[in-house]
Chain A
Amino acid sequence: MNRKNTFLVFAVIINLGLSACRDKETDEVIPQNPKVNLYFSHKVGTEEIVQGQFYNRSQGESFSFDMLKYYLSKAALVNDAGDTLYFTGHNLMDAFNPNRKKASGSVKIDDAQLTSFNQLIFGIGVSPEFNTSGDQAGDLDPVFGMIWTWSTGYIFMKHEGQFVDSTGAIQPLLYHLGTTRAYQRYSVPINIQLKKDKTYNINVDFDFAQVYNNPNLVTFTDNNIIQSSGAQDIPWITDVTQNMHQAFSVSSIQIK
């Protein structure tokens, strides 16, 4: 092979190599599926919670949050055409960690689908198919301490803090919600039309005045340590998960 031929072979190879990449990188721009960011605000009534601050409730008790963590599970947008478009898996949310107040994903839409949605749905906790093993990664990594290791299953929500009882005494408040019977999906009304190449920031309020009051009154006195560890905790689990259907609302949507 002389020098000229060598050059020719090189030219062909370079062209082949580059054209392979060009197929992926320089073809016409494909519209991207819309990105949806859910931003959660944690409130008591209209007040955004602050770590360690006490909030009054009508029963003469006031309570605080030292820790508020929970799993947001498989968020989706739903429309009247019957589309349920999932855009997240399991996200560990933390009210006091700015990096863990958001869950994001892309919604796969195509032209044939109706792109307006009237429900945002998600679970609080870990869906049953993921709640049977700790051999998991990402936000479900047991390293986050959101799992029971003596009875396999994730802690869906941890609210730890204090409360002041009707006599004025400060007592610990420790609520760990979990077990598969506690897994529920919540539906929140929304009005949103999705378009390709857009980002939608949806702000969701999570109101703990509702979680402990509406419609089931959850009093902290004599009921302040619950770890979802036995049949005696079923009424509490039922009350809290029923109340949570009233706890979520979409406060605003920004489109970029």
Chain B
Amino acid sequence: MRKSSFFILSFLTMVAASCDRCKDQPEESQATPYTLDIPESLPPMSIPSSNPLTVEGVALGRKLFYDPILSGNNTQSCSNCHIQSSGFAESSQHSTGIDGIQGNRNAMPIINLGYQPNFFWDGGATDLESQALGPVTNPIEMHETWANAVNELRNHADYPTLFKQAFGIDQITSQYVVKAIAQFERTLISGNSKYDRYAAGQESLSNQELLGLQIFTDPMKGDCNHCHVLGSTFSDFEYRNTGLDSIAVDEGRFIITWNNSDKGKFKTPSLRNIEVTAPYMHDGRFMTLLECVEHYNTGFHYAPNLDANLYTAVKGRMTLTEMEAVVAFMKTLTDHEFLSNPKFAAP
């Protein structure tokens, strides 16, 4: 009886398996859902249904982020220009690509990207997955073709298995490379700064920091709050001309939209971890935060597309003491736990 039962069971399994093959359904990933650790200072993050986070996908994205395999000569990875201790930005004004060529924009910090509607300083990438396509092929960055990159990954000892585990796919394609990188990037959440603990009633700010907070939000003084919205992501992610030049050298958002009204406009960056992401502005022209505040106080030019908030702002409205206080306040936005979190470091 036992023997015949086993035989019957085996046969039933065979029949079931043959029927499954008839259905010709794609194999579904068995990856483990990943739960984001979002601090109270930030809102829930909307994850695209086309790329749900999984433990395996995030781990794969992290490996890819730190692997130079995606560059033309296998010498640079994403992490060369996006360094964790620098808030996933870098200290050079302009990054240097694999051919020794420098770009004209400052590497952007990779922080809280899951809240952003589009990417790059000019918003040229419409989703995080598409953003990851760019640096790989850019001749002045990683200078690789996606055909080569995918081919190398397919012939790698580990990656085919890792992609299979993360996405259930038998063959690596560029689509899943950028999905994995985007998954990892969405986990790079920073929201545990001194300011956040102050806002939660868990820590005090110094008198100088409190003065800075006041100036930051005062519409007649810093008015920083207008664009770097206080709390949450510290940015409205809109595009503005902040009067860096009378005639924009880099036309910014205009390059994407071709609308004259977008000339010289760039995305408002987040101020989180701003203390460690120097130099500043889209072209990295300012080395210190005080220079930035001074620009908004007296340095801005009346460019044709100057943001209306600056156009109406009185030059010299802040004293040096007040500007230094704003800088002190901005330094309360540093999230030391994030900057050294081993989960985000090279695997």
A155 CB → nearest B CB, Å: 13
Which B residues are CB-close (under 8 A) to A1?
Answer: 1, 4-5
- The interface stretch among B36-44, B122-130, B293-301 is B122-130
Name the interface size band of chain B: 35 or more
Which A residues are CB-close (under 8 A) to B174?
Answer: 134, 141-143
B193 CB → nearest A CB, Å: 32
Interchain CB contact (< 8 A) of B127 among A13, A24, A135, A145: A135
B162 CB → nearest A CB, Å: 19
Closest to A135 in B: B129
A143 with B150: CB separation less than 8 A: yes
CA distance A151 to B22 in the complex (A): 43
A241 CB → nearest B CB, Å: 16
B137 with A10: CB separation less than 8 A: no
Which B residues are CB-close (under 8 A) to A21?
Answer: 18-19, 22
- Interfacial residues of chain A within 100-149, with CB under 8 A of chain B in the complex: 132-137, 141-143, 145, 147, 149
CA distance A231 to B261 in the complex (A): 12
Total A-B Cβ pairs within 8 A = 92
B167 CB → nearest A CB, Å: 11
Closest to A13 in B: B11
CA distance A95 to B256 in the complex (A): 30
A152 with B11: CB separation less than 8 A: no
B175 with A149: CB separation less than 8 A: no
CA distance A149 to B5 in the complex (A): 60
- With A20-B19, A149-B133, A149-B137: A142-B255 Cβ-Cβ less than 8 Å: no
Closest to B256 in A: A151
Which A residues are CB-close (under 8 A) to B225?
Answer: none
B1 with A152: CB separation less than 8 A: no
| B interface SS class | helix
Closest to B120 in A: A150
- Interfacial residues of chain B within 115-159, with CB under 8 A of chain A in the complex: 120, 122, 124-127, 129-130, 133-134, 136-138, 145-147, 150
- With A134-B178, A234-B258: A152-B125 Cβ-Cβ less than 8 Å: yes
B133 with A134: CB separation less than 8 A: yes
Which B residues are CB-close (under 8 A) to A168?
Answer: none
Most chain B CB atoms below 10 A, which of A1, A10, A132, A151: A151
CA distance A22 to B50 in the complex (A): 36
CA distance A229 to B255 in the complex (A): 7
Which B residues are CB-close (under 8 A) to A6?
Answer: 4, 7-8
A61 CB → nearest B CB, Å: 28
B12 close to chain A: CB less than 8 A: yes
B8 with A149: CB separation less than 8 A: no
CA distance A14 to B11 in the complex (A): 9
Which B residues are CB-close (under 8 A) to A143?
Answer: 145-147, 150, 173-174
B179 close to chain A: CB less than 8 A: yes
B200 close to chain A: CB less than 8 A: no
Interchain CB contact (< 8 A) of B126 among A13, A137, A152: A152
Which A residues are CB-close (under 8 A) to B308?
Answer: none
A9 close to chain B: CB less than 8 A: yes
CA distance A141 to B147 in the complex (A): 10
CA distance A172 to B256 in the complex (A): 26
B85 close to chain A: CB less than 8 A: no
- Interfacial residues of chain B within 1-57, with CB under 8 A of chain A in the complex: 1, 4-5, 7-8, 11-12, 15, 18-19, 22, 50-51
A182 CB → nearest B CB, Å: 12
B28 CB → nearest A CB, Å: 16
CA distance A141 to B169 in the complex (A): 15
Which A residues are CB-close (under 8 A) to B22?
Answer: 21, 24
A133 with B147: CB separation less than 8 A: no
Which B residues are CB-close (under 8 A) to A142?
Answer: 133, 146, 174
- With A150-B134, A152-B124, A152-B127: A137-B175 Cβ-Cβ less than 8 Å: yes
A81 CB → nearest B CB, Å: 34
- With A21-B18, A145-B146, A147-B133: A132-B175 Cβ-Cβ less than 8 Å: no
CA distance A234 to B122 in the complex (A): 20
Which A residues are CB-close (under 8 A) to B51?
Answer: 135
CA distance A150 to B256 in the complex (A): 9
- Interfacial residues of chain B within 49-102, with CB under 8 A of chain A in the complex: 50-51
A204 CB → nearest B CB, Å: 29
A104 CB → nearest B CB, Å: 19
Closest to B150 in A: A143
Mask of A1-36 contacts with B, CB within 8 angstroms, 1/0: 100001001100110110011001000000000000
B175 with A150: CB separation less than 8 A: no
A235 close to chain B: CB less than 8 A: no
26 contacts between A and B (CB under 8 A): A1-B1, A6-B8, A10-B11, A13-B8, A13-B12, A14-B11, A17-B15, A21-B22, A133-B129, A134-B129, A135-B50, A135-B178, A141-B173, A142-B133, A142-B174, A143-B147, A143-B150, A143-B173, A145-B145, A150-B125, A150-B134, A151-B255, A151-B256, A152-B125, A152-B130, A230-B258
Question: What residues of chain A have their CB less than 8 Å away from a CB belonging to chain B?
Answer: 1, 6, 9-10, 13-14, 16-17, 20-21, 24, 132-137, 141-143, 145, 147, 149-152, 229-231, 234
Question: What residues of chain B have their CB less than 8 Å away from a CB belonging to chain A?
Answer: 1, 4-5, 7-8, 11-12, 15, 18-19, 22, 50-51, 120, 122, 124-127, 129-130, 133-134, 136-138, 145-147, 150, 173-175, 178-179, 182, 255-256, 258, 260
Minimum-distance CB pairs A-B, first 7: A135-B129, A17-B15, A149-B134, A151-B124, A231-B258, A134-B130, A149-B133
